[in-house]
Amino acid sequence: MNELDAEIEELKTKLAALRTQKRREYVREYLKRPDVHEKRREYQREYQREYWKRPDVHEKRREYQREYWKRPDVHEKRREYQREYQREYRKRPEVKLRRRLRKAGLSKDVINAEVARLLKNEAAE
C-alpha cells in the first residue's frame, strides 16, 4: 500500500506541475490579446485616478513636493530656469511692442489691438 500511495502522490505532484505550466501558457497567450490588454490598461488608469484622489496619498505628495522645493540645489535650478525663460520671453517681438506701448501711456485696448495686429502679420508671413 505504501508504494501505491507514494506513486499516487508522485502522480498528483506531476499533475499539479503540468496544470501550473498550462495555466501560465494560457495566461501568457490571454494577455497578448488586444482587447484584454486594453481592458487592463483602462483598469490601471482608473486605479491611478482613484489612487491620487485619496487624501493620505495627496497629502504625502504635497509634503514631498514642499520638501523637494526647499532643497537649495532644486531652488537654484528653478530660479535659473525662470531667469532663462524671462530672458527669452523679453526677446519676443510682441513683448517688446507691448512694453514700448505701455511706456508711451496707451490704453490696454490699444496695446492689445496692436499686439494682435503684429501677431496676425507674423502668422501671415
Q: What is the pLDDT of residue 37?
A: 86
In the structure grid, which three cell numbers stand for residue 113, read together? 489691438
Q: What is the pLDDT of residue 1?
A: 65
pTM of the model: 0.41
- Regions of the chain where pLDDT drops below 70: 1
d(CA 42, CA 76) in angstroms, rounded, equals 39
In the structure grid, which three cell numbers stand for residue 80, read together? 535659473
d(CA 90, CA 52) in angstroms, rounded, equals 37
- Name residue, grid cell 496619498: 57
Q: What is the pLDDT of residue 102?
A: 92
| pLDDT tens track for 3-37 | 888 899 999 999 999 999 999 999 999 988 999 98
d(CA 52, CA 68) in angstroms, rounded, equals 19
